[in-house]
Amino acid sequence: MFKDNRFVGTVLTCILIAFLLSITIKRFFITKDPLTFFYIGVLLVVLTANILYYKCDV
């Protein structure tokens, strides 16, 4: 269906990270746990790295 496997991998990873971010943000608003805030930061870094990996031909 798609010829570019990197695009498919990037889209699937972004969807998974968006799903995990939504769950983590809901959990953060309920518990106000600092570790959950750290998880949100890590997920945002992973999302940014994934998009940069797709944009830059590494």
Can you give the pLDDT at residue 57? 66
Can you give the pLDDT at residue 34? 87
The C-alpha atoms of residue 45 and residue 34 are separated, in whole angstroms, by: 17
Can you give the pLDDT at residue 1? 61
pTM recorded for the entire structure: 0.76
pLDDT surpasses 70 at 2: no
pLDDT tens digits for range 3-58: 777 888 888 889 999 999 999 999 888 988 888 889 999 999 998 988 888 887 65
Each as own residue / partner, the long-range contacts of residues 50-54 (CB below 8 Å, 24 or more positions apart, any chain) are 50/10, 50/13, 50/14, 50/17, 51/10, 51/14, 53/10, 54/6, 54/7, 54/10
